[in-house]
Structure 1
């Protein structure tokens, strides 16, 4: 498979020869420090992970260079009230009820701003007129700032709201209406590589074992357990490829995370601890 980030970097370096770019990595691995005006790696901005003792193991979030980079641009665009679309594995989201302001004006409570999170934006069905009704309603709101009340036959102006959307390119329609997509700044969220996966789960598991006072003999197995799980996941995804007959061969981070669920993991580690003591 072609790594388009590497290919784009080759073009970028050739096109902008006057710019002194770091030799290692790609153009996606660096940002320009506003103070020094130099290229710095995104790894420099990764926040330190601290495990919350009350947080379930599977709910913990460890930032990587990829998530740090996307979050940086996402925060800036949301601050400027620009629609954002993330293309990659689907997530989850919530919305908040609107309150009526005055007359036909609606918006979030008080001076707050409401962000509509639209998950799996490419999943709605295309109707017989070759349109997607939810997409048309969203585009109408972005373009004109209002919707129509079909019961009262009146206009409702919606204020202080914006959109953040996600698409899973492996499910549903592969594209959405260009009249809608043109409003969004689109980012591709790639699957973490082996190094990133190892960093994520090592950080979570090591702190979980330490906070719960597991024996040193158990804690020493953490790196081996992580390495084995990541290697097994990579081999499964590369061996069991989806086909027309075996279309259910789709693996993602949820499958890997299931290995490290507390209820299952602690039983494994307890058995390892018992084995190490007997030896």
Structure 2
């Protein structure tokens, strides 16, 4: 992996990615529309974007990317596509002469159903598939040439609908399946290794990369298998992006914040625990599930880190076994550095809760002094917890 790469740009090739890319390339060569279908977080959009932006620029124009949401309308869809096509001759539109263009529709089945069950954006796209174009506002038919369509979507459910069979019949369907644990490890370990080499982490931290990723995958798999969605816990839904979010949190720390020796390893384990808690544990709503998840973390520490969670967090629990309430006093954030520019802020552990509350009060005073709508807030521990979580997301 190139040291100048951005994390979000990195795609680690696997056997599955090679298979999917080959089939997509085959469909594009023969101008056959292709639809990738699979669970959230399996890389459907990433595969397509990587492929589309690597196409021969002599033959293909810059791809047109359209992202659907529940509120996407047919008018909006038509505008986004028409605005990027050139007029070839009267009534005929397409990419620049001599080139072809691929139009990629992401989250194809997200548009909300109308009263009678139709999805207007999809009906518009179907009109192109059936008739080679669509009507503009003046009821003039716009013929579209040298255009190819490809799309990606998740399985119906959770706000996604079944697309009409009259539209689906035009596509070659390619199913993208979840990765197994071995493949996930092969994807995330090289990324963590790349970051540690680039930043110059000490050897005792760099050697933890595989155990950290394997532990994350195990916690994710256990949570997905046990914390099942119910009518009162409908938000208990997990996908592979959760592992990616934990990874992104780990990549925020710098070697200078960890220090050296055994203390560096303990701090890195506290960082890993914080990211797991923020991504998965913060969705847990009742005491029984919270205690169960804490037990999972303690077992994971023993199995993957050959250590004890109670020992690593002994300062929070005064040497006693760690309880869920103790973990409330663990904070990581970039708000203590005092830097105005986000790029200069340092993501680090905040061991002094009193200092954190004082810092929050200072920031509130600064905001009220410059804002036209000052906030009349009292800073207390519960508010600080949620503010810290919001800052992490932002």
**Normalization by structure 2: what TM-score?**
0.53
Local SS of the residue matching 1:267: coil
| Contact 1:217-1:273 at 8 Å conserved across structures | no
Is residue 180 of structure 1 aligned with residue 185 of structure 2? Answer: no
For residue 44 of structure 1, what is the aligned residue in structure 2? none
User: What is the rounded CA distance, in whole Å, between the counterparts of 1:115 and 1:236 in structure 2?
Assistant: 39
For residue 19 of structure 1, what is the aligned residue in structure 2? none
Local SS of the residue matching 1:205: helix
User: What is the rounded CA distance, in whole Å, between the counterparts of 2:261 and 2:222 in structure 1?
Assistant: 28
Give the number of equivalent residue pairs. 227
Decide which of 59, 79, 88 is 2:38's aligned counterpart: 88
Local SS of the residue matching 1:157: strand
For residue 253 of structure 2, what is the aligned residue in structure 1? 267
Decide which of 10, 13, 29 is 1:79's aligned counterpart: 29
1:40-189 aligned within 5 A: 51-90=1-40, 91=45, 94-95=65-66, 97-151=84-138, 153-169=139-155, 170-189=157-176
| Contact 2:85-2:93 at 8 Å conserved across structures | yes
For residue 245 of structure 2, what is the aligned residue in structure 1? 258
- Cα deviation, residue 173, structure 1: 4.1
Q: Deviations over 1:133-167 (max 9, x none)?
A: 2121111101211111122x211111111111111
Higher alpha-carbon deviation: 178-187 or 215-224: 215-224
- Cα deviation, residue 61, structure 1: 0.7
Local SS of the residue matching 1:236: helix
User: What is the rounded CA distance, in whole Å, between the counterparts of 1:164 and 1:205 in structure 2?
Assistant: 32
1:185-264 aligned within 5 A: 185-261=172-248, 264=250
What is the Cα-based RMSD across aligned positions, in Å?
Answer: 2.4
- Cα deviation, residue 222, structure 1: 0.8
Task: Call closer, same or farther: CA 1:136–1:212 in 2, change over 3 Å.
Answer: same
Bigger relative contact order (CA 8 A; separation at least 6): 1
Unaligned 5+ segments in structure 2 are 50-64, 67-80, 266-394
Higher alpha-carbon deviation: 199-208 or 82-91: 82-91
| Contact 1:104-1:155 at 8 Å conserved across structures | yes
Local SS of the residue matching 1:241: coil
User: What is the rounded CA distance, in whole Å, between the counterparts of 1:113 and 1:278 in structure 2?
Assistant: 54
- Cα deviation, residue 63, structure 1: 1.8
| Contact 2:195-2:251 at 8 Å conserved across structures | no
> Greater CA radius of gyration, 1 or 2?
2
| Contact 2:110-2:161 at 8 Å conserved across structures | no
User: What is the rounded CA distance, in whole Å, between the counterparts of 1:164 and 1:223 in structure 2?
Assistant: 36
Unaligned 5+ segments in structure 1 are 1-50
1:17-28 aligned within 5 A: none
User: What is the rounded CA distance, in whole Å, between the counterparts of 1:58 and 1:251 in structure 2?
Assistant: 20
- Cα deviation, residue 105, structure 1: 0.8
Task: Call closer, same or farther: CA 1:272–1:278 in 2, change over 3 Å.
Answer: closer
**Normalization by structure 1: what TM-score?**
0.74
Larger helix percent: 2
Local SS of the residue matching 1:165: strand
- Cα deviation, residue 111, structure 1: 2.2
Task: Call closer, same or farther: CA 1:267–1:128 in 2, change over 3 Å.
Answer: closer
